[in-house]
Amino acid sequence: MKILSVNAGSSSLKFSMYEMPEEKVITTGVFERIGLEGSNYTFKINDEKHKKEMPVSNHEEAVKILVEELINYNIIKSVNEIEGVGHRTVHGADKYSDSIVINDKVLNDIKSFIPLAPLHNPANITGIESFSHILPNVKMVAVFDTAYHQTMDKVHYLYPVPYEWYEDYAVRKYGFHGTSHKYINGRIMEILNNKELKVIVCHIGNGASISASIGGKCIDTSMGFTPLPGVMMGTRTGDIDPSIIPYIMNTTGMTIDQVMDTLNKKSGLLGVSGISSDSRDICQGIIDGNERCKIAQEMFVNRIVNYISMYNTELNTADVICFTAGIGENGIEVREQIMNKLGALNITLDKEANNIRGKERIISTSDSKIQCYIVPTDEELMIARDTYNLAK
């Protein structure tokens, strides 16, 4: 059974096609600069990349080309072979604690959540509508970034603001990257053959979030009402004092939109270092003697260590800490610096084991009180799994 896993952004469309239930990747690819000058798309088949540049004016056109190319490349013989399309959908609010087959009601709900995710849900909706038009007989499934975190209790998801803000305006912590946190929890419970594990997942990429789970149920997570809070990220601040916002508006004349844009896109590693949001550039900057890169890196590590320590207390000592996403999987120095600061938790790094990028493995020594693992994430596969289960 062939399943497509898709992630629609405002001008992009990423896709992976799987043979399920074997979980075999048949092809992956991306459409970029949709509706803009220089639009192009890439298909990866048998490790070979095929790139074409041509005008793609909207997402529906991209989906049409995608289906035609699947046939041209002999990946499918007809559209009837596609039996499900899973859509990464950022916000499911507190209505969706799991993936769901999309019907009119679900689509209207996702539209009603736009005020909660104005940057993401509109693009996800465009993706859903485009595929529904081109493949009207295929089951569409929404896989929500927020769903995994719906098991948090009120103590963890409420903010200490007037209760009416929660009741009347849905102000609460939702958490994001849920598909990744769910995947990593499932994978580590499988590796250690234990369904009761207390796990801290450090999803550290350009966006970063930490979660605490027991037996695959989320207890707490670092992102909040939006993906802005929690640990410091590539371009996002993580936790800051909200009083900074009116202060900067009043002293600089910036508008609320300009300040929020700065907090989301020009802060974090980029804002502090002044040179880059990319962890590799920060590490190189440190080697080159750049003092601001050094501070940025120390802040980045410090905030992750603080969240791990806090969640370890909440879990009454974690069994496992997992590192995942771009930096978590590949950032040898970053992992080493984080683990070296966790001595108070009796964690010890196996320096040799840690000297690796992108591979699943244990990186703590055998006498470490908490086992630490690198577990590469696979959100696309998770979307394909949920879609297969709902479409089969």
The residues that touch ligand AMP, with contacts defined as CB under 6 A, are: 205-206, 234, 278-280, 325-327, 330-331, 357
Minimum CB separation of residue 325 from ligand AMP in Å reads: 4
Ramachandran assignment for 369, one of left (phi > 0), alpha (psi -120 to 50 degrees), beta (any other): alpha
Minimum CB separation of residue 107 from ligand AMP in Å reads: 28
| Residues 186, 187, 188: CA angle, nearest 5 degrees | 95
Q: Among residues 145, 220, 319, 386, which one is catalytic? A: 145
- The amino acid that residue 155 corresponds to is V
By beta-carbon proximity to ligand AMP, the closer residue of 12 and 130 is: 12
Minimum CB separation of residue 323 from ligand AMP in Å reads: 11
Beta strands in the chain (DSSP E): 2-8, 13-19, 24-32, 40-45, 48-53, 82-89, 100-101, 139-144, 198-204, 208-214, 217-221, 320-324, 361-362, 371-374
Task: Name the residue whose CB lies closest to ligand AMP.
Answer: 326
By beta-carbon proximity to ligand AMP, the closer residue of 185 and 279 is: 279
Q: Catalytic site residue 145?
A: yes
Minimum CB separation of residue 270 from ligand AMP in Å reads: 10
Residue 376 phi, psi (nearest 5): -60, 135
By beta-carbon proximity to ligand AMP, the closer residue of 216 and 331 is: 331
Instruction: Judge contact between 369 and 317, C-beta under 8 A.
Output: yes
By beta-carbon proximity to ligand AMP, the closer residue of 122 and 376 is: 376
Q: In what order do the strands lie in the sheet with 100-101?
A: 48-53, 40-45, 24-32, 13-19, 2-8, 82-89, 139-144, 100-101
Minimum CB separation of residue 330 from ligand AMP in Å reads: 3
Distance CA 316, CA 232 (A): 25
Of 153, 238, 240, the C-alpha closest to 204 is 238
By beta-carbon proximity to ligand AMP, the closer residue of 184 and 370 is: 184
Active site residues: 145
